[in-house]
Structure 1
């Protein structure tokens, strides 16, 4: 028996029971590698990882190993009991025989015991012991949860083995077929049962379309045929049955259910293209109508409304459209349309459960039922002001009774006079597209375009008026600035004149003070000169007197000096004579 798995790298991998496992190059049609030793253990199933660089194998002894596709090194083993048992990178290569420990028989030898989610984050391993699934987090390499399936338990208490398990399209939902042909859908993330096929419809094998909308299966009662079914219809019937039984969807899953029933296309790239066009002119003043304190909330509302306005001119011309969009984006406020101002947030959510689940024409029956519900109140109104005030207040209304009345009107309305169904087409979801949203023109184009032209003209005139008003304001501001500058200049000129007057007064005063000081200095100088001359004259007189006295003393000194000199000469003469006499006497003695 041969089975194959293809990776995103254009490589084909095939396997044979009780023989070797090998990889092939699809383009060159050549075998590239062979897993030596696989024949001795026996490979039951092998698949590529989402990235294509790893191979996950389940052996016949129920061991699961993860290999590197480039080198065939065994990276780690997956064990539900103990988690991951890793191998060193230098071991378990293609040149080494593989010997894995044999564990208890835990995984059924089925056609596909392993399957990856489309985004590659989850790996599902099918168990045979208790008819359960093990959801493995591929990136975190850890067990996410074990999903038990009590529906597969037979009356005798034994579990019905799982025959097939596979992810549906790009969702996290798993389609499961039991060995007796029962088909169910389980959410891999939450472990909750999403859908159960009636026991009258049994399958031997199923396959899902890439988008997850259709199921093709081989019926158990007729294996030679293929049955094609729309999965969306099955799940929708299940949800509608739940809504009929309980009256509302679970609050925890309400948004998810709404997204499913509305069949949102998730066209992220086209939506981003509409966002890139910026704020639509029709919603530039939306923050004035909704004075929301949260900056993030008002920006989200502007972005959604602008995208819808750029997509179709109709949404930009509907005055009530922001009030319709508002409750789908933000926390509950009191609004003016779509029953929003007449119910609490919980009641309005229940109302929307039924509006979204029913035909689009149901809104008309709901409106008639609401008018009938408050018939007495409307009949007692006398003025238009009372009517308007009624819609501005939150009037107590029993939602269950209102819905019951609306559905009664819907079912009891004869087909020949069922106007809502005649004027409203059935709900058609926006198709999924990677490039752009489809053209929306299901509205009176001429009227809307005429209204758009009128609004554009009014908007241009308003912009022109605002521009002229701005220019007028700037001119008025300029005139005020000129007047202010003129007043400042006059004040400055007065200050300068005053300063110049003060300067000249001070300069003249300083000049007069200087002249007065000069006069005083001249007078003082004259006085000092006079005193100096007198002192000089007195000094001269003293010098003359002292000079005469000095001359007299000099003469007296000269006379005394002459007398002393004469006396000295006489003394020298006498001394010389006596010295000579002594010398002569000494000479006589010596002789």
Structure 2
């Protein structure tokens, strides 16, 4: 189990809300479930979350979640309508009406475009694009429909009726493609459940039997009969398990039997693969996801279980022994039920062992507050358990005779209060039951006395029972059963009244209208034809239901049947008694449908009683026959009187029907015209919308073309401007480059001229300095040689001065020739001046030394004389 979902209310007295239907979406990762109060939830198995998507306020009878629009789902409701909701917006998409009884099946086409809804009296084909009804299948009420559904991945509709006839129809034309022949009489069963493989080739059918019929739809013949174990008495549901690798030819079939166990059997190898459910936790219905990964099961306790197919198959330690053996393969040209049959061997079925490490994840919608109450209710005194008793009763149909009274006392939890019962008995016979033997003449004095005491104790216990006319009829079977133990008899009757008859006194002294209305509603759900027959003949529930309740079926059942009935009544919910009334009428529908008068209905009800009771009451039987004779005479007189009235009423009814038919035809024509007008308007609007869209697209295309041209022009203009600007800057750069080159040539020429002049000036300066230096040196030498001759230096100085004048004039001429020499050339002139000054200083120092030496020589005349 992947998840167990329990839905509770949060009231002061919480109760479990039972899930009724479940359906997977097309992906198989989400499922939708509805409970009996109309709440619809979507469970995301991949995202591990759920969401309340709708509150319909009434129970859903069928669900479908695999439509073309993934967020939409169909739900069939108890008021016979079908609604389409959206899980995202949580809004009503469409509301489809047309059924007159409960819809129990919704089949969706593989494309999601069509859907078939099936009820007991009709099947209707719907177009899910317009939510309009396309076709309607009407049949006789005596036949009835079992199921109508689409074959997977095909355009074929399969219709199955209660008389075992199966037809295949073309979806578009509704042309009958073929009809399956009747099965062999030796193995004929009434089909109730059906399943088809993914490829639509094999049809599995079952019913109230342990036989499974496998039909080949291509050859339209029965090719195999599988006999399930003897503990399988009826098959409630069939469904093939999809597999991703079998190309649609599904080999595993899930079989849900009456014991609530879903068994998965391989139809080829005839082996049990695994099973889910148990006798304690039975399965009510089950759905398998489209990819075969999950199994969602609605349990009998109202919870929802989701199983993992992969985990179930992995938990099988070894292959189980074969449950089915083929006696003989049947040739295709001959059919025989004996050769077709595959018998199930007796023996214990191996169930997959549960892994210790596997954990069950339980998702509780609301806090579970009823678990303790339920466990306490199931635990009975004397070590018994109510659930185990129910399993025993379901298996055998009744409790063991030896232990029946003990089980009843445990189920009813009788207090056995001797003190209280003695105080009631001590009050004596109640006034209301002093003349009981006159109204109910019972031959056994002991039985009459016990009945009188029990009724008196009930009247003393509650005053209302003294005025209850049906109390003796209600208590008599229990008094007869427990006549040797009056305390147990009293407590059983009191417990029955408190728990099963507690709402019978709300309209006292009238019959319980509320209870009878519930019975009528249940009868309308299960057999609408019978209820309509009752209504047509003015037969109310006070005639076909109330007599059964006030006598607790003691007048229509034998002792053994009555004991079996109350084994089930005491072991189930109090509503089981009401269901029994409906079931009794449904089982007696054949004689009831043949009755046309109220007296006939009363006669049929009385004829259901056992003959043993008539033997004990011969006088009552003769009185009854007399009453029947008088009733027959009265009936004939009434027929004679009312025959003319009936003819007139029929004529008026025929006229009214004709008028209604004409009005209906007019209304249908008007509706058809309105629908056609609406379709025409929609198409015109669609055409206008398309024209507007085309015009809008053309306008957009033209605007885009104009914008593109403008962008191209702008780009061209921008490129032209950029080119012109680039050319302009290039011309400017060219002019600047030429100017710079011209300037450089001028500067180079000026620099060359200046350097030439500088070289000439430097050469002249060097020559003059050299000459001057030579003169100075020669003068110094001469002065040293002739120190006393002072005229010589003066003469030399004059010559030097005179020789220097032309050089200075030459330098001045050079400076005058180049007045525009740059300032940088003065730096070299300064350097030359500095060098010249240094040379002059050196010459001057040399002269001073030479002069000093000459003076020293003059001071020594001897030396001069020599």
Structure-1-length-normalised TM-score: 0.29
Structure-2-length-normalised TM-score: 0.22
RCO (CA 8 Å, sep 6+): is it higher in 1 or 2? Answer: 2
Structure of higher CA gyration radius: 2
